[in-house]
Amino acid sequence: MEKHTYDLLIIGTGLAGLRAATAATFTSKGKLRIALISKLYANRSHSVAAQGGTAAVLYPNEGDSYILHAWDTVKGSDFLADQDAVMVLVREAPKEIYFLEHWGMPWNRREDGRIDQRKFGGHSFPRATYAVDKTGLFEMKTLWGIIQKHDNIDVYHEHYVTNLIIENNRFKGVFAIDMKTGELKVFLGKAGILATGMGLRMYKFTTYSLSQTGDGGALALRAGLPLKDMEFVQFHPTGLVPSGILVTEGARGEGGHLKNNKGERFMKRYAPERMEIAPRDVVSRAEMSEIIEGRGFEGPEGLDYVHLDLTHLGADHINSKLPLVREVAIKFAGVDPIHEPIPVRPVAHYPMGGVRVSLYGETDIAGLWAAGEVAAVSVHGANRLGSNSTIECLVWGRITGELAAKYLMEKAQNGIVTVDSEAVKKEEKWVFDELIGRESGEDPYQIRRELREVMDKDFYVFRNGRDMEEGLRKIRELRERSMNMYVADKSSVYNLDLIYTLETYNMVQVAEVIALSALNRTESRGAHYRTDYPKRDDENWLKHTLVYMTKDGYEIRYEPVKILLWKPVERKY
């Protein structure tokens, strides 16, 4: 088995992973050997799909402030965000905007040349810094350009990480399949940063690309780490029907209107002050209420929808600020938003939960950090505000990169990392004998289809105990079946059948955590809305859910929310 040895391994090459690599390189002055490992061609990671903006306080003299950004975030989280983490986010955010600016990020500009910002849901000030409606793409390109300047960073494209190597509760490396050859490799490192994203491809109607299958969450679970607050799945209000492709919140931030089949701007009934730029959980529930009560439009395959109307903005405004929205609507829905409304409905978009980490991204495993979407530092709580995700990736990408570099330079620079030969044999047996070598078994494609149907049906915008109990039962059945999946393709080179099977294995594990966490939380808070428990219950549920994988199944524990400045109050918009 081929072995590669590095100082620092970064698993994942989205915004968090690339930012961590740049921070570790700058902190160590290029002295650390760093490996970036991606299941994709690295600069095609899902962060390129982020559209609308990146939140930061840039203009305090115009009325914005760190405290206001923090309050908006805490209130938007339905008071489940850890307020110490929120304060780190808002104070560090502007530095990241200017960091990218200095490296060539093409931010949109005001007429006076300063960086422009737009309105986003739940924010009381226009603080979404943007590059038309392709913000994530340009942020990725900017960071990728920095990576190319440093020869201490090696990038391993199309290497699928199967498991973390942990010995005596210390990070030692990862196993990964080189998709080009089919070879299983060992990457050894003195420290690691998990930055895989989480993804929600276990849902059928989702904004996520096909690659986002919960791998990082499953890797962490199998390594003994808990997943935190996974019941809180964000449904973005404007998923394009029927594909699920994201229509950025920037479309509403630029003045788009949501309308029902009577032509009404129905948000006046649900959020009379903020209207279309209320937080996403509020808008998604409003849309589904309109649809359930018969004021939606009939869509294909049960995907009834409402209209997102941009026609009043005019061609010049749409073409200059929302060119991708127009392109996607024309190509994938057959409507031109200059002339026609866009069909949209709530779509699975973002997990507020993830791997439990400290304020600065440390996991419970020595030498291992997690950053970005895969981590739950708890800035989002029960509901994320739009444009707070990309800035979280940048801020904690930098923090974890710097801390990992300092750890390596101060504590772990000397010594050789080795791996137990029995662990290598066990991984080889699992991949080559138990998966590829199996001659019959369950169809992973069928398991994935059934999983996605369950998640869309039982763990959507509105939930109830009876449906979730049945959904959890079905997911557990799928988990049992997934242990006997059959890989039909026995070849080595680009065996995507094998990768698909491994991804399905991960998806089922993470889906069970989502389902169990949701069923167990008997209240409604943020994106988790139960029709059988429609009220928020601070007395019993102002706490984080932690789920551990044990030999006897999943185990639930809890930890308190960190409250500094604001105690829970009723959310009104």
Catalytic residue positions? 236, 252
- Residue 219 tokens read as 């890797």
Please list, in sequence order, all residues whose beta carbon lies within 8 angstroms of the beta carbon of residue 251, skipping any fewer than 6 positions away: 52, 133, 238, 308, 310, 322, 325, 342
Instruction: Let me know: does 493 contact 178? Beta carbons within 8 Å.
Output: no
Instruction: Let me know: does 210 contact 493? Beta carbons within 8 Å.
Output: no
Residue 293, H or E segment: none
Sequence letter at residue 123? H
Residue 572, H or E segment: none
Instruction: Let me know: does 393 contact 15? Beta carbons within 8 Å.
Output: yes
- Residue 257 tokens read as 């209107």
Sequence letter at residue 39? K
Instruction: Let me know: does 373 contact 390? Beta carbons within 8 Å.
Output: no
Instruction: Let me know: does 554 contact 547? Beta carbons within 8 Å.
Output: yes
Q: What are phi and psi of 344, to 5 degrees?
A: -140, 160
Determine the 3-state secondary structure of 376 from DSSP: strand
Angle (CA) 439 440 444, round 5°: 120
Block residue for tokens 């050894």: 188
Is the bond leading into 242 cis (omega within 30 degrees of zero)? Answer: yes
E strands, 286-356, where?
306-309, 342-351, 354-356
Q: Count of alpha carbons within 13 Å of 286, Cβ hemisphere only?
A: 27
In whole angstroms, give the CA distance from residue 134 to residue 108: 11
Burial bucket for residue 5 (CB in 10 Å: 0-12, 13-18, 19+) = middle
Instruction: Let me know: does 373 contact 16? Beta carbons within 8 Å.
Output: yes
Please list, in sequence order, all residues whose beta carbon lies within 8 angstroms of the beta carbon of residue 473, skipping any fewer than 6 positions away: none
Show the 3-state SS of 249-290: CHHHHCCCEEECCCCCCHHHHCCCCCHHHCCHHHHHHHHHHH
In whole angstroms, give the CA distance from residue 284 to residue 293: 14
Length of the chain in residues, anyone?
A: 573
Determine the 3-state secondary structure of 441 from DSSP: coil
DSSP string covering 59-79:
-GGGT--HHHHHHHHHHHTTT
Torsion of CA 291, 292, 294, 296, to 10 degrees: 10
List residues bridging with 344 in a β-sheet.
240, 306
Residue 447, H or E segment: helix 444-458
